[in-house]
Amino acid sequence: MKVIIEQGEIQSASVDAIVVNLFQGVTQPGGATGAVDQALNGAISDLITTGDFTGKSGEVATLYSRGAITAQRVLVVGLGESDKFDQEAVREASGVVAKCAEKLNIKALATIVHGGGIGGMDVVEAAQAVVEGSLLATYKYDAPKSKPDESKPVEELHLVEFDASKIEPIEAGAQAGEAIAEGVYLARTLANQPSNVATPTAMAEAAQAMCESVGLNCHILDEDEMHAEKMGLLSAVTKGSSEPAKFIVMEHKPKNAKNDGPVVLVGKGVTFDTGGYSLKPVAGIVGMKGDMSGAAAVIGAMNAVGRLKLPVHVVGLVPAVENMVSATAFKPNDVFIGKNGVSVEIISTDAEGRLVLADALCYADSLNPSVVIDVATLTGAKMIALGKHLSGLFVDDDELHDALVAAGKKTGEPFWRMPLDPIYDRQLKTQVADLKNTGGQPGGAVTAARFLAHFVGDWPWAHIDIAGNHLYSEGPEFTPRSYLTPGSTGNPMRAFVEYLRNL
């Protein structure tokens, strides 16, 4: 989808369809929507007076201009209630339109910038949300099917604004939207790929290619280097796999960086989680190609950070590894020692995520970070506790908590605070090591977070458990969102970028 910014009247755009909007409960369309209504001899007013269109979020109506304007069709989209209007509402409306336009096989679409006029939103943010919503809604995973999908997204998206003074901010917002969507596309694709494609090696190659394309430094540690770094827990997990583990380091270090130490993002990169000798049951193993969704979010965030040239020093870390069963695999009751010297008795080889993250957190410490945030599909217990609407957020630092919650609210990737009380450490006690790697069923998401806490240094740290909400499909357990597509979401990649932009 090509994004084009144009100054002019929306009703004069020479495209296949134009897009205007209505808030819920509006009886007299104003602004650009009013102008189009006039050009159409009151066709939009008719939609309202008949009650055929109420302006609710998710609503879209198609009108035919019959020569009254250049475009053959007019799409009217609902923005929902005006007092609840925000960037998320703009993304939602734009996603609804983009999906509708794709169904109608529209090639060139012109839209006003929802929120940029009557909505009273910051026009940069409005334009960003329009572009984000449109691009994210029409993401496709390029599956190797012998008969490829016929449906093709809109080719040209024109953002049309009459007020010349708003063109520059619209361009800035659109560029940000494109940069962020590019990151989400990469994240979704990595997590949608099967594990025989997205191996640790392939993940490292994808990260390297991304870094080259946006101008980041990239360094990949191989297994020998991991041993040299004394990453005994990561090494334990990879023992059973014939796919070599990769430790991916991506760095964005601009000269104008505002922060002293880097913000370090750490993503769980288990490319497939069989459970190991603590083997998963038949139903539970399906879907475990997505156990690198945290890694995908971090790689996608680094992509966006590089494109946006954010004035922040950011490092992305991804321990990429496969959790398999074999004669060389690690076993329950084995004891291994992490990079910081903490010893761990393995109770379940299926609690592998916390092991690879532990060594990655120790590596983060060697970078003298200002903040570390890890993200992982870490526990089924998180799904029991919170379901799939929210990410579990474990953090002691209130300032970091507030910043992440605000960012997640803005991007529609909400976080919910979970406990991190050291009392839970009692469940991780063992006679044969400093820690055991599982704490039993009660509070399973919390004991996983507490396990990680033993590998955290003297810096603000947040752990985000995205189990369940790394995926999306239609159904009651998911918050409906027009701009998500079945499969991987990229969650919470956009929240990371928002957090970093606010620093």
Catalytic residues: 280, 354
d(CA 39, CA 141): 40
Burial of 100 (0-12, 13-18, 19+ CB in 10 A): buried
Choosing among Mn ion, ligand BES, Zn ion, none, which partner's interface includes residue 182 (Cβ < 5 to 8 Å by kind)? Answer: none
Cβ of residue 391: shortest distance to ligand BES, in angstroms?
A: 12
Choosing among ligand BES, Mn ion, Zn ion, none, which partner's interface includes residue 348 (Cβ < 5 to 8 Å by kind)? Answer: ligand BES
d(CA 499, CA 503): 7
Would you tell me how many other CB atoms lie within 10 Å of the CB of residue 103? 9
Under the binding rule (CB under 5 A), the answer on residue 273 touching Zn ion is yes
Query: By CB under 5 A, which span of 108-116, 352-360, 378-386, 493-501 interacts with Mn ion?
Result: 352-360
Cα Rg of the chain, angstroms? 24
Under the binding rule (CB under 6 A), the answer on residue 267 touching ligand BES is no
Q: What share of the chain is helix, strand, coil (3-state, %, to 5)?
A: 40, 20, 40
Cβ of residue 494: shortest distance to Zn ion, in angstroms?
A: 23
d(CA 144, CA 141): 9
Return the sign of the alpha-carbon dihedral for residues 329, 334, 340, 341.
negative
Q: Which is nearer to Mn ion, 251 or 273 (CB)?
A: 273
Under the binding rule (CB under 6 A), the answer on residue 273 touching ligand BES is yes
* Positions 318 through 357 that interact with ligand BES (CB under 6 A): 348, 350-353
Both tokens of residue 459?
């810096």
Under the binding rule (CB under 6 A), the answer on residue 377 touching ligand BES is yes
**Cβ–Cβ < 8 Å for 210, 303:** yes
DSSP string, 315-344: EEEEEEEEE--STTS--TT-EEE-TTS-EE
Under the binding rule (CB under 6 A), the answer on residue 484 touching ligand BES is no
Cβ of residue 427: shortest distance to ligand BES, in angstroms?
A: 10
Query: By CB under 5 A, which span of 255-263, 273-281, 328-336, 436-444 interacts with Zn ion?
Result: 273-281
Beta bridge partners of 218: 250
Under the binding rule (CB under 5 A), the answer on residue 291 touching Zn ion is yes
d(CA 316, CA 190): 16
Q: Which is nearer to Mn ion, 3 or 320 (CB)?
A: 320
* Beta-carbon contacts of residue 217 (< 8 Å; ≥ 6 apart): 211, 249, 250, 251, 253
Query: Position 297: which residue type?
Result: A
Beta bridge partners of 64: 73
| Residue matched to tokens 């090509």 | 2
Cβ of residue 273: shortest distance to Mn ion, in angstroms?
A: 4
* Positions 423 through 452 that interact with Mn ion (CB under 5 A): none
> ∠476-479-482 over CA atoms, to 5°?
115
Q: Which is nearer to Zn ion, 164 or 282 (CB)?
A: 282
Query: By CB under 6 A, which span of 154-162, 376-384, 413-421, 488-496 interacts with ligand BES?
Result: 376-384
**Cβ–Cβ < 8 Å for 55, 24:** yes
Cβ of residue 350: shortest distance to Mn ion, in angstroms?
A: 4
Choosing among Mn ion, Zn ion, ligand BES, none, which partner's interface includes residue 380 (Cβ < 5 to 8 Å by kind)? Answer: ligand BES
Please give the residue whose beta carbon sits closest to Zn ion in the complex. Answer: 273
d(CA 320, CA 59): 42
Choosing among ligand BES, Zn ion, Mn ion, none, which partner's interface includes residue 338 (Cβ < 5 to 8 Å by kind)? Answer: none
SS3 372: strand
Under the binding rule (CB under 5 A), the answer on residue 269 touching Zn ion is no
Binding mask 403-432 for ligand BES (x = CB under 6 A): ------------------------------
Which of 290, 353, 412, 468 forms a contact with Zn ion (CB under 5 A)? 353
Q: Which is nearer to Mn ion, 178 or 350 (CB)?
A: 350
> ∠324-325-328 over CA atoms, to 5°?
105
Under the binding rule (CB under 5 A), the answer on residue 350 touching Mn ion is yes
Q: Which is nearer to Zn ion, 182 or 273 (CB)?
A: 273
Q: Which is nearer to Zn ion, 21 or 377 (CB)?
A: 377
Cβ of residue 242: shortest distance to ligand BES, in angstroms?
A: 20
Both tokens of residue 86?
């925000």
Q: Which is nearer to Mn ion, 233 or 250 (CB)?
A: 233
Q: Which is nearer to Zn ion, 292 or 305 (CB)?
A: 292
| Residue matched to tokens 């606010």 | 502
Query: Position 332: which residue type?
Result: P
* Positions 443 through 462 that interact with ligand BES (CB under 6 A): 444
* Positions 189 through 218 that interact with ligand BES (CB under 6 A): none
Residue spans of beta strands (DSSP E) within 191-280: 217-221, 246-252, 263-267, 269-273
Per CB under 5 A, residues contacting Zn ion are 270, 273, 291, 353
Per CB under 5 A, residues contacting Mn ion are 273, 350, 352
Per CB under 6 A, residues contacting ligand BES are 273, 291, 348, 350-353, 377-381, 438, 444, 467
